[in-house]
């Protein structure tokens, strides 16, 4: 039987997002495979977390590309981005809260994502769409936090899946949009 690595990683992310202390046995059960099979693919929890991080980075870069961040207004690009990130939101939420990934050296892949997002927010500021008193770095972190929170809310059944993008975009852009004084 061939193991679908993406399925295993998504199952692990969904479980670990809900219960960060899950054992490898629990991860294997969630993925519908045996513990020995899981260990053949991931030698231990650290190897699994590293694979989750690499998988998430690929997903995030694909979402950034799909969102066409340089096209149209920055506001529209944020809307496209949130919709493109939705399938990976649970994985991103888990990784953002997984402390060991961010102690010491941070993966260069995250740095590249941060730079692309900050450039989007900076463009929105330069074009007069977004407030200039909030740094692009803060807006990037706020986006990560909102994606994570919306993911947890949907996973826990407190919010409808169909509202994922709306909740994030309205709260982020409602706070980031520049008000025009009359």
Helix axes 45-66, 89-97, angle to 10 degrees: 130
pTM here is 0.83
pLDDT in tens, 74-131: 999 999 999 999 988 888 887 777 655 555 556 788 889 999 999 999 999 999 999 9
DSSP state letter for 102: G
Do residues 52 and 91 make contact, with C-beta atoms less than 8 angstroms apart? yes
pLDDT band per the 50, 70, 90 thresholds, residue 71: very high
Is 53-176 a domain of CATH 1.20.120.1200? Answer: no
The chain-wide mean pLDDT, for the chain, equals: 87
Q: Which of 73, 61, 169, 179 is nearest to 123 (CA)?
A: 73
| Phi and psi torsions of 176, nearest 5° | -90, -25
Give the domain ranges of the chain.
Answer: 53-176
């Amino acid at each position: 039987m061939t193991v679908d690595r993406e399925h295993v990683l998504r199952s692990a992310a969904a479980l670990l997002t809900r219960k960060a202390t899950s054992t490898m046995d629990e991860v294997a059960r969630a993925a519908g495979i045996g513990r020995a099979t899981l260990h053949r693919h991931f030698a231990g929890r650290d190897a699994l977390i590293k694979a989750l991080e690499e998988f998430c980075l690929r997903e995030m870069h694909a979402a950034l590309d799909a969102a066409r961040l340089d096209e149209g207004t920055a506001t529209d690009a944020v809307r496209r981005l949130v919709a493109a990130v939705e399938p990976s939101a649970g994985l991103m939420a888990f990784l953002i809260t997984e402390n060991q990934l961010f102690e010491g050296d941070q993966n260069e892949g995250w740095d590249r994502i941060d730079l692309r997002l900050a450039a989007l927010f900076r463009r929105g500021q330069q074009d007069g769409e977004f407030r200039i008193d909030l740094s692009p770095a803060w807006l990037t972190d706020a986006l990560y936090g909102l994606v994570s929170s919306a993911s947890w809310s949907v996973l826990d059944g407190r919010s409808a899946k169909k509202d994922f993008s709306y909740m994030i975009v309205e709260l982020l852009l409602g706070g980031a949009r520049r008000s025009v004084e009359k």
